[in-house]
Amino acid sequence: MRHHDRADEPDKRALRREIRSARNRLTADDVRVSATELARRALALPELAQARTVAAYVSVGSEPGTLTLLDALRARGVRVLLPALLPDNDLDWGTYDGEGSLVRVRHGGRMALLEPAGDRLGPDAVTEADAVLLPGLAVDACGMRLGRGGGSYDRVLARLERADAHPALVVLLYDSEVVARVPEEPHDRPVHAVVTPSGVRRFGPAADARHP
């Protein structure tokens, strides 16, 4: 087990700055082409192919694009849940019914987010998901995820744990964002897979037994 302390926080902030800076240099074409490849690879994952409900999110700016994947999942008949940020940084959820069902919401001085416009299902709706797509900035060789820093998905993961729910946890990233090590804290838990435009990497005891 790694040693954890608050000294990891400056390391996390520095890594976040570095990755965001690299993302900001991407062109719209870079993002679009990557989104197509990410969707193709993610749709082939058994964890998503067998899912009836997937909790996901709408990418913004130069984040690895998710809308192509969301539309493909919906076309398969998958129920797709999308988050709506609450004032305390927790997440409520709504159903994705196509790009026209999204509304742009600005939360304080942050970047505006695309959220579901329909009825809210409550924060516990995520516990019904067979797979959860987590936003992130990096994943390391042990499957530890570097989040965006808001803490919303730490709450989601804690809620899943309390409910004894065990969905597949999947992160979509660019190739350069799979790194040797992410600073880790005691509450962090590894993801099951990372999808990048060039491939899929799985983590955990079953990783070696599955397709690469």
pLDDT tens readout for residues 4-44 = 444 457 688 888 899 999 999 999 999 999 999 999 999 99
Q: Is residue 209, in this structure, part of any structural domain at all?
A: no
Q: What is the pLDDT of residue 71?
A: 96
149 annotated binding-site participant? yes
Residue 1 lies in a domain: no
Count of CA atoms in the C-beta half-sphere (13 A) of 173 = 26
pLDDT tens readout for residues 62-98: 999 999 999 999 999 999 999 999 988 899 999 999 8
Number of domains comprising the chain:
1
Q: Which tens digits make up the pLDDT trace of 146-155?
A: 988 778 998 9
Asked whether residue 3 is domain-assigned, the answer is no
Q: What is the mean pLDDT of residues 159-179?
A: 95
Q: Between vectors from CA 136 to CA 133 and to CA 137, what angle results, nearest 5°?
A: 150
The CATH number of the domain holding residue 15 is: 3.40.50.10420
Query: Would the annotation count 16 as a binding residue?
Result: yes
| Structure token pair of residue 51 | 């899912």
Supply the range of the domain harboring residue 164.
8-202
The 3-class secondary structure across the chain, one letter per residue, is CCCCCCCHHHHHHHHHHHHHHHHHCCCHHHHHHHHHHHHHHHHCCHHHHCCCEEECCCCCCCCCCCHHHHHHHHHCCCEEEEEEECCCCCEEEEECCCHHHEEEECCCCCCCEEEECCCCCCHHHHHHCCEEEECCCEECCCCCEECCCCCHHHHHHHHHHHCCCCCEEEEECCHHHECCCCCCCCCCCCCCEEEECCEEEECCCCHHHCCC
Asked whether residue 61 is marked as a ligand-binding residue, the answer is: no
146 is in an annotated binding site: yes
Is 14 flagged in the annotation as binding?
Answer: yes
- Does some domain include residue 18? yes
Q: Is residue 207 part of a domain?
A: no
Known binding residue 15? Answer is: yes
At residue 195, does pLDDT exceed 60?
yes
* Residue 122, in any domain of the structure: yes
Q: How much is the pLDDT for 205?
A: 53
pLDDT band at 2 (very low <50, low <70, confident <90, very high): very low
Q: 212 lies in a domain?
A: no
pLDDT score at 206? 44
Q: How far apart are CA 6 and CA 16, in angstroms?
A: 16
Over the chain, what is the mean pLDDT?
88
97 found inside a domain = yes
Judge whether 150 is annotated as a binding position. Answer: yes
Higher-scoring residue by pLDDT: 157, 9: 157
